[in-house]
Structure 1
Amino acid sequence: MSGAEAQVAADVDAAVAAAARAARIPTTREQRAGWLDALADALDAGREPLVALAHEETHLATARLDGEVTRTVSQLRFFAGVVREGGYLEAVVEAPDATLVPPRPDLRRMLRPLGPVAVYTASNFPFAFSVLGNDTASALAAGCPVVVKAHPGHPELSRRTAALARAVLPVGWFGLVEGMDAGVALVQHPGIRAAGFTGSVRGGRALFDLAVSRPDPIPFYGELGSINPVVITSAAATERAAAIGAGLVASFTRDAGQYCTKPGLVFAPQGLGIEDAVRDALADAPASRQLTPAMADGFASGVAERASLAAEVLTGAASDGESTPTVLVVDGAAFRADPDAFLAECFGPVTVLVRYAEGELDGMLDALEPSLTATIHRGGDEDVSALAERLTAVAGRLLFDGWPTGVAIGWAQHHGGGWPSTTASVHTSVGATAIRRWLTPIAYQDAPHAVLPPELRDGNPLGIPRRES
């Protein structure tokens, strides 16, 4: 082992060991909620210099970054509320019943924290899915100390945000490591009990394989690639083609097309004005700079590969050193001949528009892979129940007459889907139930009252939502 490798191993081991020590010290829900509120206050107070640094490292607009800080602050406060409410514990109390077969003892069940977790941050959201992003917030809320692997796209911002976290949290509850080797060592460390990831299919799959091939496999919650299909019905195109075309361009070009919910595949009826509306909207769509040179190269090569198969290539404004907004128009026959060529996610301001004729759409939908979202644009009185049923089989969130970019924070939100959009379709990385990833059940049978957590004691002294029978 080289000196550099030894240092990486030592850094990871120190961070995980500190997290393990912290995890052994019991905390209350009110303590953790207070920490989350304090983190929100500290991030809000440090907004201006952090936004300036993020702009310097990512090239994202300061207004966009300022809004993202607001979202991140809201996430932290939201999870403080989730913790205080207590329903996430799924507490159940069942009284003994000797008349049942077999007889039922006194049973009490709730969720408890898994232990230290690893969080792998995203490039495209340097606040909301980064050091103090949704994975970190939900893990801390659950009672799990966090070790974050910083993203190389914004290293100094990661360090500054980590310093803010360490100033608020007790020793061991937050750690930061950097570099690819540290990321590999982290997911393999025996002290890590689960991991969350937002990034590419390639990177996420590599870490997932390491997580499940450990001597003691751990859950790996990866948010990976998503094409987010959109279906525009003939009735919708007839009613409002111009508005739909403008909305599509605004959505897939938003923040340089770097959203995981970007609509990357759009089925549009041929000859009803959608293509013309998209072409008109593209005229005002500016070129944009990608987060890193590697992402810019990936965008250029991805567009070039698909352009050779397209019937037409529509572009917006071009600029040296920036990515040009692009729509690849594909005939139904070309899509059916090689759907895989258009189903892989291409990061950046590009989308594929598939023309369909009457009777063609149903067969095209058979080719779809699971995604984070799917969208239907329908006519005012149109019944799209059958189409909705088809798309719920491949999407974690189904939208109507809107666009998927933008994920609200709430109790009913689900930001997940089947492979390749995530590695665990039953879980979400946004919304209240994101906390469920970092928890595991514990059942107490005939336990002495003093042993029970307060949430399971007689009389429900903390007043949490729970099932009793």
Structure 2
Amino acid sequence: MTITGKNFIGFSRSAATESHTFQAYVPAQATHLPEKFYAATPQEVDAAMQKGTQAFDTFATTSPAQRADFLMAITREIMVLGDELLQRAHLETGLPLPRLQGERARTIMQLTQFADLLREGSWVEASIDTAEPNRSPLPKPDIRKMLVPIGPIVVFGSSNFPFAYSVAGVDTAPALAAGNPVVVKAHPAHPGVSDLTAQAIQKAAEKTGMPDGVFSMLFDDGYIVGSALVKHPATKAVGFTGSQKGGMALYKMAMERSEPIPVFAEMGSVNPVVILPESLSADTNSLAQMLAASVTLGAGQFCTNPGLVFVVESPELEDFITLYSREISNVASTTMLTEGICNTFYQLKKEALAQNAVEILALSEIKSEEQNQSQATVARVSGKAFMANPALHEEVFGPYSLLVVCASIHELETALLLLKGQLTATLMATETEVARYPSILRILAQRAGRIVMNGVPTGVEVCPSMHHGGPFPATTDSRFTSVGRHSILRFVRPQSFQGWPNALLPDVLKNENPLGIRRLVNGQESLEAIDG
């Protein structure tokens, strides 16, 4: 398939001017690919949002089965791209092909899960309270409620997941499933991958009869297009994965609109790991190996890599530090996603290591700084120094982790109290230790969306019980997940229908229950039709 480089607005490709173009960067070679990508104009931004608004009236009323067919058609069109999509992603991100194959499979699974969710139907949370005309002292009206779509959604592609968190990823899939048109601002780190994926979505929309404007995508290598999309009056919500600086800038824009809108931003996390003494002594070598692998997975460019590891002084601690340092030293250098991410990693790492009382424990060998190669790093600081320096609490995005050595359990608890909101928190402990120190678990639970016990936080399972979100500043709204079926709740709102004739109600709220969806009827779950 040919990469167009043009903006995708509905099914017609823009005749974009050459006033501003950019090219895809190859981080492993420090070169650029030949295709030009055209930054969207203000007119194209407006056209995309206007098309989305027009499409909403039709798309919101499509049946769940129709939208499920659309999502499955997207999966087929993505797979038709075959190795072309994988090879392009490999060039634009430096990620190895096996990782990309796994991520593509995850993207297909995500779309498939939402198709299954649509056919199952309970996600609309249908609730029916039938009338009681003879109730005293006042009659009770017939009231029925369900979740409904909200309108055009703006999605920002993520740098570190070119498939699963990008054009057809964790924001686009649930937004479309709910019945909302989507406008994607493609990430400039992988524009060719975005281009190919956008073509797949548009083909799927055309083949399944979806309305013109149900999906659009715009390019830009700066901030102008993204800002315009968030500020556009037709935008009803925003999905974003990236830095805290970027997420908060979008959030501020959204709050300053005449009609404020929600921004569901995932903005990073240091994902603290706490290792208690009994657990440390029980299997020192395995802990060191497991932790080093998690810190350096994907060159540390996952949102769940452990950036802080808390331990308490004990006889086994020095053995652990020796083993942990050795594991970090042996990690192979790998290509980082972009030149900007690589440069920022080395700058932030330099600043962190320059802080008072920070001691370098291990550095891995680096192949070439000129070709955006990572360098795994672990450092050490005392609990007292950590508590005195807020700069040490911040994320260094990349294969870097700081070991915080506390003098006592009390010092550990005090240090943990200083942590901000996180996506994950991990407790390495025996059951006896958990019972002995309940305050540690309580502190971690208050600060994280997912609590891991005796495992590592990397690896986000896509399932209904996964919550991928957390208290601010990990995300802008800790009530919602960006992974799994419940992520659809970000892009819907509840609506009640009072006193409506049965024939005019949405199908899911009718007496007959023609879709066979589980509903709450007069406070009780039911699959049955309502009598009369």
- Runs of 4+ that moved beyond 4 A: 2-7
User: Does the CA contact (< 8 Å) of 1:33 and 1:84 recur in 2?
Assistant: yes
Mapping of residues 362-441 of structure 1, within 5 Å: 362-379=413-430, 381-384=432-435, 385-441=438-494
SS at 2:480 equivalent? coil
| Pick aligned residue for 1:13 from 32, 46, 55 | 46
* Deviation for aligned residue 1:342: 1.7
Equivalent position of 2:94 in the other structure: 59
| Pick aligned residue for 1:99 from 113, 122, 135 | 135
* Deviation for aligned residue 1:386: 3.6
User: Does the CA contact (< 8 Å) of 2:50 and 2:234 recur in 1?
Assistant: yes
Equivalent position of 1:239 in the other structure: 282
1:50 correspondence with 2:88: no
User: Does the CA contact (< 8 Å) of 2:423 and 2:448 recur in 1?
Assistant: yes
1:346 correspondence with 2:416: no
Amino acid corresponding to residue 368 of structure 2 in structure 1? D
User: Does the CA contact (< 8 Å) of 1:44 and 1:70 recur in 2?
Assistant: no
User: Does the CA contact (< 8 Å) of 2:329 and 2:362 recur in 1?
Assistant: no
User: Does the CA contact (< 8 Å) of 2:40 and 2:218 recur in 1?
Assistant: no
Partner Cα distance (2:252, 2:122) in 1: 33
* Deviation for aligned residue 1:104: 2.3
Equivalent position of 1:316 in the other structure: 364
| Pick aligned residue for 2:122 from 87, 98, 112 | 87
Amino acid corresponding to residue 264 of structure 2 in structure 1? Y
1:411-433 Cα offsets, whole Å, 9 max, x none, are 11110111111011111100111
Amino acid corresponding to residue 132 of structure 1 in structure 2? A
SS at 1:330 equivalent? strand
Equivalent position of 2:308 in the other structure: 265
* Deviation for aligned residue 1:318: 2.1
Range that drifts further, 395-404 or 315-324: 315-324
Partner Cα distance (2:137, 2:466) in 1: 40
Partner Cα distance (1:403, 1:397) in 2: 11
1:231-250 Cα offsets, whole Å, 9 max, x none, are 00101101011111111110
Partner Cα distance (2:114, 2:471) in 1: 25
Mapping of residues 70-469 of structure 1, within 5 Å: 70-97=105-132, 98-99=134-135, 103-169=139-205, 170=210, 171-179=212-220, 180-271=223-314, 272=316, 273-309=319-355, 310-321=358-369, 322-338=373-389, 340-358=390-408, 359-379=410-430, 381-384=432-435, 385-469=438-522
Among all aligned residue pairs of Structure 1 and Structure 2, give the percentage whose two residues are the same amino acid.
39
1:343-391 Cα offsets, whole Å, 9 max, x none, are 2111111011101122321111110111000001112654344422221
SS at 2:213 equivalent? coil
SS at 1:108 equivalent? strand
Which residues of structure 2 form unaligned runs of 5+? 1-16, 21-38, 523-532
Partner Cα distance (2:245, 2:352) in 1: 19
User: Does the CA contact (< 8 Å) of 1:131 and 1:148 recur in 2?
Assistant: yes
1:203-256 Cα offsets, whole Å, 9 max, x none, are 111111111111111111101021111100101101011111111110111111
Change in CA separation of 1:109 and 1:181 when aligned onto 2, cut-off 3 Å = same
User: Does the CA contact (< 8 Å) of 1:8 and 1:181 recur in 2?
Assistant: no
Equivalent position of 2:14 in the other structure: none
Which residues of structure 1 form unaligned runs of 5+? none
Partner Cα distance (1:48, 1:100) in 2: 69
Equivalent position of 2:24 in the other structure: none
* Deviation for aligned residue 1:157: 1.0
What is the root-mean-square deviation in Å for CA atoms of aligned residues? Answer: 1.7
Amino acid corresponding to residue 387 of structure 2 in structure 1? R
* Deviation for aligned residue 1:4: 5.3
Equivalent position of 1:23 in the other structure: 56
User: Does the CA contact (< 8 Å) of 2:118 and 2:177 recur in 1?
Assistant: yes
SS at 2:95 equivalent? coil
User: Does the CA contact (< 8 Å) of 2:40 and 2:219 recur in 1?
Assistant: no
Matched pairs, number = 467
SS at 1:253 equivalent? helix
Range that drifts further, 100-109 or 174-183: 100-109
Amino acid corresponding to residue 131 of structure 1 in structure 2? V
Amino acid corresponding to residue 165 of structure 2 in structure 1? F
* Deviation for aligned residue 1:307: 0.7
Range that drifts further, 4-13 or 310-319: 4-13
Partner Cα distance (2:112, 2:385) in 1: 48
User: Does the CA contact (< 8 Å) of 2:276 and 2:433 recur in 1?
Assistant: no
Amino acid corresponding to residue 434 of structure 2 in structure 1? D
Partner Cα distance (2:175, 2:203) in 1: 18
Partner Cα distance (1:386, 1:47) in 2: 51
Amino acid corresponding to residue 119 of structure 1 in structure 2? V
Change in CA separation of 1:100 and 1:366 when aligned onto 2, cut-off 3 Å = farther
Partner Cα distance (1:27, 1:81) in 2: 16
Question: What TM-score, normalized to structure 2?
Answer: 0.85
User: Does the CA contact (< 8 Å) of 2:78 and 2:200 recur in 1?
Assistant: yes
SS at 1:374 equivalent? strand
* Deviation for aligned residue 1:100: 5.8
Amino acid corresponding to residue 354 of structure 1 in structure 2? V
Partner Cα distance (1:292, 1:342) in 2: 24
* Deviation for aligned residue 1:288: 2.0
User: Does the CA contact (< 8 Å) of 1:327 and 1:352 recur in 2?
Assistant: yes
Question: What TM-score, normalized to structure 1?
Answer: 0.96
1:316-344 Cα offsets, whole Å, 9 max, x none, are 22222222100111111211211x21221
